[in-house]
Amino acid sequence: MIPILYIVIPCYNEEEVLNETASRLGAKLRSLIEGGTVSARSRICFVNDGSKDRTWEIIRSLHEGDTIYSGVNLSRNRGHQNALLAGLMTVKDLCDVTISMDADLQDDIEAVDAMLAKCAEGFDIVYGVRSNRGTDTAFKRNTALSYYRLLARLGIESVYNHADYRLMSRRALDGLAGFKEVNLFLRGMVPLIGFPSATVEYARGERFAGESKYPFHKMVAFAIEGVTSLSVKPIRFITALGIAVIIIAVILAIVFIVQYFMGMTVPGWASTIVSIWALGGLQLFAIGIIGEYIGKIYLETKARPRFLVQEFLDEPRE
């Protein structure tokens, strides 16, 4: 059976690049249809994440001009991960396989062929993995490497040099639908599905136009989300650190008592102040991490919808 493919692309203020993205992806999808690789019912689905520019207007225009383009309009901005999930969950019952990618044309669309070939071999999930990070700064390369190593140490399964360029079968999408958490980190959630997976390497290019939607502060927030959404080891680390501090304090107390009876006491104003600041900082740090988890529990217990679809543009099915 020839699979129905939906290419899902989250968009936030992408008016500068959207027409070019649609043109290149449209040409790619048509070639796949003509070659018999995917069904003629395959589509390119743009997800408008509450954009403030003409993004949704362009998506609507693309759909009206060619039904190969479909669109999902969210009721408000919900962030990249929620927008991506919204697109996947909206189309999962309309297709056999999805491929997600960003709108900035940095992901190599030619890797789609290799992903589909892997899917045909029986893999439910195919990760697009960057073959190099030559387009990144040295700072970004090193911090990314350190972050992936940190995730591994915290017991979080992830795919190195993989972002959100991936293929998922309908079975994998149904599995993902079973994850109900509000705090999303799809790069860590998808490996938890556990179905057969493979990787495809590609060279990531420069952004075609516009500015990155992930400035430094958002990257930091996303990194924290990834850790706290999938691992409790930071809290366990604080517990271990607290025990270590208590042991050190007991040892120092014994040393000070011995020094007192030996007449070796020295006025300790400096050490006292340093200790107070060190322990105070440790306590605030610990409270901050615990507060982060409590905040996530608070959001999860509310069970608010992760997204609301305001409009879905797609051709009706027979």
CATH code for the domain of 45: 3.90.550.10
Same domain as 175, residue 70 = yes
The whole-number pLDDT of residue 216 equals: 59
Residues 6 or more apart whose Cβ sits within 8 Å of residue 126: 115, 118, 119, 166, 167, 197, 198, 199, 200
Examine residue 223 and state whether it is found in any structural domain, yes or no.
Answer: no
The count of structural domains within the chain is 2
Asked whether residue 29 falls in the same domain as residue 118, the answer is yes
Same domain, yes or no: 207 and 237: no
Which domain does 175 fall in, by range?
A: 5-211+304-313
Residues 237, 156, single domain; the answer is: no
Q: Is residue 78 part of a domain?
A: yes
For the stretch 206-237, pLDDT in tens is 655 555 555 556 666 656 666 666 666 676 67
Both 156 and 29 in one domain: the answer is yes
Mean pLDDT, each 10-residue run in order, the chain (318 residues): 94 92 94 94 95 94 93 91 92 94 88 94 92 67 72 73 89 91 80 91 67 59 62 69 71 70 63 67 75 73 77 75
Listed as own residue / partner, the contacts of 31-34 with beta carbons closer than 8 Å and 24 or more positions apart are: 32/5, 32/112, 32/113, 32/116
Q: Same structural domain for residues 297 and 197?
A: no
Are residue 199 and residue 258 in the same domain, yes or no?
no
Same-domain check for residues 238 and 109: no
State the Rg of the chain over Cα.
25
263 domain-assigned: yes
- Residue 269 sits in the same domain as residue 196: no
Q: HEC string of 159-225?
A: CCCEEEEEEEEHHHHHHHHCCCCCCCCHHHHHHHHCCCEEEEEECCCCCCCCCCCCCHHHHHHHHHH
Cα within 13 Å of Cα(59), Cβ side:
30
Distance CA 28, CA 19 (A): 14
> pLDDT by residue (tens digit) across 152-161?
777 777 777 7
In this predicted structure, what is the pLDDT of residue 205?
Answer: 64
What is the pLDDT at residue 270?
A: 46
Amino acid of residue 155: G
Same domain flag for 296 and 308? no
Same domain, 56 and 96: yes
Separation of alpha carbons 170 and 177, rounded Å: 10
One domain for residues 29 and 140: yes
